[in-house]
Structure 1
């Protein structure tokens, strides 16, 4: 199955051999910078979470050809940079990215919540989701401009309060 124009997708991948893909804090920010450059012009982003050895994005693909070229160039750019910076060779990621089609509004809200709750699997579990730096959750709580399409997500949840409540109840 191929990604189609205007389809909603959960994009994810992890490090080769379940290894790290982020070695220092600046890697997380560089990863997002590269993603914004290569992929964002072709998609809408609704949620993301970057973990030490894997990542998740919930996107809507607006331009399939642009997305496919962009994501390929994104992975090449990020991997080359990490390999040069840390004297590594070879694949950083476990094969090609994975994706699942997201095709119902209930799946939309569950996926946003699932992505944002990823840090709860760490020792981070006793902290607040908004304190995790490498997730889009905090973008929903502040009024600053963001590359995340928060407006549409709030429509799915109904309001900011319902968004927060859903994140506090799902496990």
Structure 2
């Protein structure tokens, strides 16, 4: 059964979704970058992002939703998100609205570009709360491993549309890279963890569906 509980503030989540009826959500290479630009516009004001992977017909994210004061501060700095106080909505409602705007905005752009109509994503999108820090590093690995899991590439570390290389880079990033590396210990341990096959069969199946 799909988890449709509203997103709660200050909570870690594994968020994932796919195209309706398995349809590709990324039709061309440029769609991946456009997706990330839309994501930055709508989701960054209400959530911190730790890891991601974008595949042809689905995506995976590891995020932490922000609290009310964080959301309001972001709004005051950028005006990219509704002010919870001004619009009389809870933080949870604001977060959900931003995800709705994100999916709708991307869908409208794809529909216009490829002369299609109707929904692009399955609804509701999946959201699994991650309550145990023990799972953090394993979830990052799982997200990065997905292209290899689905047979899209022989070595997931070479896949271009994930956060794997951004975690190892020194270039500026919107990802909360330092926290991710700290979960593994350091960059060397991060690379070693990803180089070794991780058996996830003993993990909570709900977390890694």
Name whichever structure is richer in strand by fraction: 1
Q: Do both proteins adopt the same fold according to a TM-score greater than 0.5, normalized to the shorter chain?
A: yes
- Give the direction of change, closer, same or farther, for the CA distance of 1:139–1:165 in structure 2 (3 Å limit): same
Matched, 1:13 2:14: no
Aligned to 2:172, the other structure's residue is in SS state coil
Note the aligned Cα RMSD (angstroms): 1.3
Structure 2 unaligned residues grouped into runs of 5+: 68-91, 200-209
Q: 2:66 aligns with which of 52, 62, 65?
A: 62
Q: Find out whether 1:122 has 2:148 as its counterpart.
A: no
SS in 2 for 1:117: helix
Higher gyration radius (CA): 2
Equivalence for 2:8: 4
Query: Following superposition of structure 1 onto structure 2, how do residues 121-160 of structure 1 map, counting pairs within 5 Å?
Result: 121-125=150-154, 127=155, 129=157, 131-160=158-187
TM-score w.r.t. the length of structure 1 is 0.94
1:37 alignment partner, one of 37, 41, 53: 41
The answer to whether structure 1 residue 22 and structure 2 residue 62 are counterparts is no
Aligned length: 169
TM-score, structure 2 normalization: 0.77
Q: After TM superposition, where is structure 1 displaced by more than 6 Å over at least 4 residues in a row?
A: none
Q: Hey, what's the Cα distance between the residues in 1 that align with 2:66 and 2:108? A: 27
Shift of 1:2: 2.9
Structure 1: give runs of 5+ residues left out of the alignment.
Answer: none
Checking the alignment, whether the CA contact within 8 Å between 2:46 and 2:65 is kept in structure 1 is yes
Secondary structure of 2:153 counterpart: helix
| Aligned-partner Cα distance in 2 for 1:65–1:159 | 36
Structure with higher helix content: 1
